[in-house]
Chains A and B, each alone.
Chain A
Amino acid sequence: MIVELQLNGRPVRDDVAPQTLLLDYLRDRHGLTGAKRSCDVQVCGTCTVLVDGLPVSSCCTLVADVDSRDVLTIEGFAELPEFERFERAFVDHAALQCGFCTGGMLLTTKFFLDAGLLGTNEEIRRGLSGNLCRCTGYHGIVEAVAELAGANE
């Protein structure tokens, strides 16, 4: 089947098997390997991409379901001017270690910040709880996101 979508701000048109998962499509067809595969059951968040601005688990989404929609991966996000602010906060707070979860973490953060839903530390913890990180213990990420959100302790 043919799908047409906006991928990182550029129109793409591809012939795909109907059962193709968005994660495999991004990684194998477009070489966008920033979205990672881990749990396969929508728990870990490391495959997160934004579809029309909303975070989805690309491991459990058919590419057919994003036909004619707008998909943003971490590679696309990194090209946007606002990314620099995110990068600085995550670097300053050492909010990453192995980096495997980091792309998904940043995209989920972007969604919640865009939606104005991360006012307090409690909201940050709740909002990001669909993204797992095994290295950092989360503390640095909370600090970085709080700084981005202008949230107070």
Chain B
Amino acid sequence: MTIIERQPLAHVGRSVPRRDAHEKLRGAAQFVGDFVVPRMVHGKVLRSPFAHARVVAVDASEAEALPGVVCVLTGDDLTDLDPYWGHAIKDRPIVALDHVRFAGEPVAAVAAEDEATAAAALNAIRVEYEELPVAGTIEQALADDAPILHEGPLRPGLFHGLGELPPREGNVCYRYRIDRGELESVFARADLIVEGEYSFPAVYQYAMETHTVVAQVEGEEITVWSTCQHPFLVRAELADLFAVPLASVRVVVPYLGGGFGSKSYTKMEPLTAALARKAGRPVRIQNRVDESMVTTRRHGMRCRMRTAMTNEGNLVARDVDCWFDTGAYADNGPRVTATGGDAAPGPYRWHAYRVDARCVYTNTGPAGSYRAFGAAHLQWIGESQIDELARRAGLDPLAVRRDNLCLPGEELRNGAKSLDADLIGDVEQAAAAVGWSEPKRANVGRGVSVGLLAAGAHPVSTAIVRLEADGQVVVLVGTTEVGQGPRTVFAQIAAEELGVDVEQVTVRGTDTRFTPYDRSTGASRSTTIAGLAVQRAARQVRDQLEEIAAGDPLEPTAYPELLRRHFGFTGGELIGSGEVAPTGTGSYAEGPVFWEVCVGAAEVEVDPETGVVRVRRTATVADVGRAINPQLVQRQDEGATLQGLGNALFEEMVFEDGQLLNDTLLDYRVPSFADLPNEMTCVIVENEDGPGPYGAKGCGEGALAAIPAAVVNALADVGVPMQELPLTPERVWRRIQTLKEEGKWPR
């Protein structure tokens, strides 16, 4: 164990109360759906009932004639634009032009004086469809005679960030391949090989606040108030779509009611802005839950994997084919596919690996980002194969990991950043927290899992810190408060650098007209990258204060006097700016910015009579370098743990011929209080090995990849290996019956 000497810090490392608690607890926090813009009208969206069809004709004349209807937007209103958007691939029209590719795709939108009138007007729009064959699943989309969803070459979007896009192959819109070593010869020499086919279901992020946008268009000036995690990327896409300068688009983001990736990149903003443009008045569109479910979701995935080990327990090779179901439009599918591809081998010292990951169009709602994407898809599969190999070799799964995990500084993927975490220490702590070496009752099992997630996205953030004449500090930074607590963390950082109290620092939401650029809020990047920009901005203010003080002691109580000395007046302010860009050497020049640690453990009990899996204990490791606010770190891991249990145990969007069957919270169940494990432990590891302020690095996603994997391994430890998620009672019970027939149950 390394003992790290820390310089004492006043605010960083303390669980200071959330700065937004007062507003939020009193119902005073404003969300997009809570305020009214003058002259605002209400928008509703007419959505396709068919999963795949040609749109022959749209007749909105009757709807437009209804009293209270302001206008109806159809594809005919977009002839002056290039109406296609999509940050990865520009494959998606603002509203359907002549082709609908999923059930729920917007075909028209109504703006009316009130919601009831808008809803009535939807029923008065006549649409003639001509149904087309449906590719509702990955298998159907890859079949030789599959209908092709997108003809012609794919156009790269503004932020695909994936180098040169490979050409489309049928319905495969993106392909990501990595390899190392001589795969087949390593497999040929291996003693033990495990292989299998696996599936991961499409799941819904369910941010409780549905996608909501208010848009106003006045000439070239476009203003949107939106539930978006990435306001600056939305701004750029809107500017591109409507062919106006960046400065003409203003994106305002108040508090968000959860995101988890569902509000990353652009979603409902183009449609709302186009409707507002036609209406000549501000328009609000607020999705229902069933509409948000077909706005974005997590990719379903199918995977074929094999892993090889020697009798002595050396992991030597892994071979992975996987197919991500991205739905009718790419959304963030290419990035999800690439991240999944990078996560697939896991953090082990392979002699050889090969990964071939494809992103596949199907006639279902588009799939995009959801917390821990890629890693959540692949980690449970790879980790279950390692446990199976350990069982066959008669080795302790924890020992196999200890012997094969990469060490800090070792190369993980060709050309990528080397490992920046102590994974062996992490997994040992997680195992200990669920009582790894304690005796087990019948039907009780324990599992661990280890993985990594390429985190940080593109490392570009800026921040401005303003020291006001009264000594108060304002931080301007473009990170979205989705619930994770950046306003509190940034206030702690600024307070630390300037020596003021946290309560003296104000951090508000983004308004792209005033707030400086931040690439995005996602990929666990905000504390690390935007936090570093805030730290640098605050240091600039401190430097100015030191210069003004000219050797006098820098007491925060004297700041107003220093400003008076400088400006000769009770006024003025000191402004510091901070920037992070991918320059220089180290984390910000390589990729990824850091590897987010996905380590967890679980103890489960299965009831063989019913197939019900009860999760008794969980442990996750928040390997954060430095916990700027330990309580917020712990709550991030706990939230991700519960979402991980939902993904592992019961969440699944069920499609039939492209139609979503369970589109309400009645039949799409998410975790409730009743699903809490008896014990939930979050181990915070602070090795100061992160590239962020004070050695910090991000967290909040890893647990969502680690927990499903740990639960699957714990269930296999009981004797029930599973290759399909979720682990519903029926599925587990059926597996036990099969095992009985094979004479493998009870083990």
Please list the residues of chain A having a beta carbon within 8 angstroms of any beta carbon in chain B.
Answer: 27, 32-41, 43-44, 46, 73-75, 78, 83, 86-87, 90-92, 94, 96-103, 106, 124-126, 128-129, 131-142
**Contact partner, B483, options A97, A138, A140, Cβ 8 Å:** A97
Determine if A136 and B638 form an interchain contact, defined as CB atoms under 8 angstroms apart. Answer: yes
**Contact partner, B25, options A39, A96, A131, Cβ 8 Å:** A96
Within B665-713, the residues touching A (CB, 8 Å) are 665-666, 670-674, 676, 680
**Contact partner, B638, options A35, A75, A128, A139, Cβ 8 Å:** A139
Determine if A98 and B21 form an interchain contact, defined as CB atoms under 8 angstroms apart. Answer: no
Given contacts A36-B31, A44-B208, A90-B21, contact A142 B664 (CB under 8 A): no
Query: Which single residue of chain B is at the shortest CB-CB distance from A141?
Result: B673
Min CB distance, B296 to chain A, in Å?
Answer: 15
Determine if B664 and A39 form an interchain contact, defined as CB atoms under 8 angstroms apart. Answer: yes
Cα-based distance from A102 to B33 in the complex (angstroms) = 16
Determine if A102 and B24 form an interchain contact, defined as CB atoms under 8 angstroms apart. Answer: yes
Determine if B27 and A134 form an interchain contact, defined as CB atoms under 8 angstroms apart. Answer: no
Within B465-524, the residues touching A (CB, 8 Å) are 481-485
Please list the residues of chain B having a beta carbon within 8 angstroms of any beta carbon in chain A.
Answer: 15, 17-18, 20-31, 33-35, 206-210, 255-258, 260, 286, 288-289, 481-485, 631-632, 634-635, 637-643, 664-666, 670-674, 676, 680
Cα-based distance from A73 to B665 in the complex (angstroms) = 23
Determine if B209 and A87 form an interchain contact, defined as CB atoms under 8 angstroms apart. Answer: no
Cα-based distance from A126 to B674 in the complex (angstroms) = 6
Determine if A98 and B665 form an interchain contact, defined as CB atoms under 8 angstroms apart. Answer: no
Determine if B673 and A99 form an interchain contact, defined as CB atoms under 8 angstroms apart. Answer: no
Residues of A within 8 A of B664 (CB): 39-41, 43
Determine if A75 and B639 form an interchain contact, defined as CB atoms under 8 angstroms apart. Answer: no
Which of B22, B639, B670 has most A Cβ within 10 Å?
B639
Cα-based distance from A36 to B257 in the complex (angstroms) = 10
Determine if B670 and A136 form an interchain contact, defined as CB atoms under 8 angstroms apart. Answer: no
Cα-based distance from A46 to B209 in the complex (angstroms) = 10
Cα-based distance from A43 to B295 in the complex (angstroms) = 21
Given contacts A36-B31, A78-B26, A98-B256, contact A136 B18 (CB under 8 A): no
Cα-based distance from A79 to B101 in the complex (angstroms) = 51
Residues of A within 8 A of B260 (CB): 134
**What are 11 sample pairs from A and B whose C-beta atoms fall under 8 A apart?**
A33-B27, A36-B257, A43-B665, A43-B666, A46-B208, A92-B17, A99-B29, A99-B483, A102-B24, A134-B208, A134-B258
Query: Which single residue of chain A is at the shortest CB-CB distance from B34?
Result: A33
Residues of A within 8 A of B210 (CB): 38
Residues of B within 8 A of A86 (CB): 25
Query: Which single residue of chain A is at the shortest CB-CB distance from B488?
Result: A94
Determine if B676 and A138 form an interchain contact, defined as CB atoms under 8 angstroms apart. Answer: yes
Query: Which single residue of chain B is at the shortest CB-CB distance from A95?
Result: B635
**Contact partner, A134, options B21, B207, B637, B676, Cβ 8 Å:** B207
Determine if A134 and B31 form an interchain contact, defined as CB atoms under 8 angstroms apart. Answer: no
Min CB distance, A54 to chain B, in Å?
Answer: 19
Which of A91, A129, A133 has most B Cβ within 10 Å?
A133
Min CB distance, B614 to chain A, in Å?
Answer: 13
Given contacts A41-B664, A132-B670, A134-B639, contact A94 B15 (CB under 8 A): yes
Chain A contact residues, majority secondary structure: loop
**Contact partner, B288, options A40, A124, A129, A134, Cβ 8 Å:** A40
Residues of B within 8 A of A75 (CB): 26-28
Residues of A within 8 A of B631 (CB): 94
Determine if B22 and A134 form an interchain contact, defined as CB atoms under 8 angstroms apart. Answer: no
Residues of A within 8 A of B671 (CB): 138
Determine if A125 and B674 form an interchain contact, defined as CB atoms under 8 angstroms apart. Answer: yes
Cα-based distance from A27 to B212 in the complex (angstroms) = 16
Given contacts A46-B208, A91-B25, contact A125 B257 (CB under 8 A): no
Residues of B within 8 A of A125 (CB): 673-674, 676
Determine if B257 and A136 form an interchain contact, defined as CB atoms under 8 angstroms apart. Answer: no
Min CB distance, A36 to chain B, in Å?
Answer: 7
Determine if B34 and A87 form an interchain contact, defined as CB atoms under 8 angstroms apart. Answer: no
Determine if B635 and A97 form an interchain contact, defined as CB atoms under 8 angstroms apart. Answer: yes
**Contact partner, A135, options B23, B25, B634, B639, Cβ 8 Å:** B639
Residues of A within 8 A of B674 (CB): 125-126, 129
Residues of B within 8 A of A136 (CB): 635, 638-639
Cα-based distance from A74 to B638 in the complex (angstroms) = 26
Query: Which single residue of chain A is at the shortest CB-CB distance from B644?
Result: A137
Min CB distance, A64 to chain B, in Å?
Answer: 16
**Contact partner, B673, options A34, A100, A103, A126, Cβ 8 Å:** A126
Query: Which single residue of chain B is at the shortest CB-CB distance from A145?
Result: B673
Query: Which single residue of chain A is at the shortest CB-CB distance from B481?
Result: A98
Residues of A within 8 A of B20 (CB): 99
Query: Which single residue of chain A is at the shortest CB-CB distance from B629?
Result: A94
Which of B27, B638, B640 has most A Cβ within 10 Å?
B27
Min CB distance, B600 to chain A, in Å?
Answer: 13
Query: Which single residue of chain B is at the shortest CB-CB distance from A46?
Result: B208
Cα-based distance from A102 to B481 in the complex (angstroms) = 15
Cα-based distance from A51 to B331 in the complex (angstroms) = 43
**Contact partner, A138, options B33, B257, B673, Cβ 8 Å:** B673
Residues of A within 8 A of B676 (CB): 125, 137-139, 142
Min CB distance, A45 to chain B, in Å?
Answer: 9
Query: Which single residue of chain B is at the shortest CB-CB distance from A101?
Result: B208
Determine if A87 and B22 form an interchain contact, defined as CB atoms under 8 angstroms apart. Answer: yes
Query: Which single residue of chain A is at the shortest CB-CB distance from B33?
Result: A37
Determine if A98 and B26 form an interchain contact, defined as CB atoms under 8 angstroms apart. Answer: no
Cα-based distance from A35 to B31 in the complex (angstroms) = 11
Which of B206, B260, B673, B676 has most A Cβ within 10 Å?
B673
Residues of B within 8 A of A142 (CB): 673, 676
Determine if B639 and A137 form an interchain contact, defined as CB atoms under 8 angstroms apart. Answer: yes
Query: Which single residue of chain B is at the shortest CB-CB distance from A73?
Result: B27
Cα-based distance from A77 to B17 in the complex (angstroms) = 21
Determine if A129 and B673 form an interchain contact, defined as CB atoms under 8 angstroms apart. Answer: yes
- Since A74-B26, A91-B25 are in contact, a sample of 6 more A-B pairs with Cβ atoms closer than 8 Å, ordered by chain A residue number, is A33-B30, A39-B289, A40-B288, A97-B485, A134-B207, A137-B637
Cα-based distance from A43 to B667 in the complex (angstroms) = 10
Cα-based distance from A132 to B206 in the complex (angstroms) = 11
Q: Which 9 A-B pairs have the closest CB atoms?
A: A34-B27, A99-B24, A98-B483, A100-B257, A137-B638, A97-B483, A74-B27, A33-B34, A78-B26
Residues of A within 8 A of B635 (CB): 94, 97, 135-137, 139-140
Query: Which single residue of chain A is at the shortest CB-CB distance from B206?
Result: A134
**Contact partner, B482, options A44, A90, A98, A129, Cβ 8 Å:** A98
Determine if A38 and B24 form an interchain contact, defined as CB atoms under 8 angstroms apart. Answer: no
**Contact partner, B484, options A46, A91, A97, A132, Cβ 8 Å:** A97
Cα-based distance from A47 to B674 in the complex (angstroms) = 20
Min CB distance, B371 to chain A, in Å?
Answer: 10
Cα-based distance from A125 to B35 in the complex (angstroms) = 33
Determine if B208 and A103 form an interchain contact, defined as CB atoms under 8 angstroms apart. Answer: no
Determine if B209 and A137 form an interchain contact, defined as CB atoms under 8 angstroms apart. Answer: no
Residues of B within 8 A of A128 (CB): 673
Cα-based distance from A4 to B642 in the complex (angstroms) = 42
Which of B483, B637, B638 has most A Cβ within 10 Å?
B483
Query: Which single residue of chain B is at the shortest CB-CB distance from A103?
Result: B27
Cα-based distance from A106 to B174 in the complex (angstroms) = 46
Given contacts A41-B666, A91-B18, A97-B639, contact A135 B27 (CB under 8 A): no
Determine if A39 and B665 form an interchain contact, defined as CB atoms under 8 angstroms apart. Answer: yes
Determine if A139 and B289 form an interchain contact, defined as CB atoms under 8 angstroms apart. Answer: no
Cα-based distance from A10 to B665 in the complex (angstroms) = 34
Min CB distance, B37 to chain A, in Å?
Answer: 14
Min CB distance, B16 to chain A, in Å?
Answer: 10
Determine if A36 and B208 form an interchain contact, defined as CB atoms under 8 angstroms apart. Answer: yes
Cα-based distance from A41 to B20 in the complex (angstroms) = 29
Residues of A within 8 A of B286 (CB): 37
Which of B30, B206, B209 has most A Cβ within 10 Å?
B209
Query: Which single residue of chain A is at the shortest CB-CB distance from B675?
Result: A138
Cα-based distance from A137 to B643 in the complex (angstroms) = 8
Cα-based distance from A103 to B28 in the complex (angstroms) = 10
**Contact partner, A40, options B21, B289, B634, Cβ 8 Å:** B289
Determine if A96 and B638 form an interchain contact, defined as CB atoms under 8 angstroms apart. Answer: no
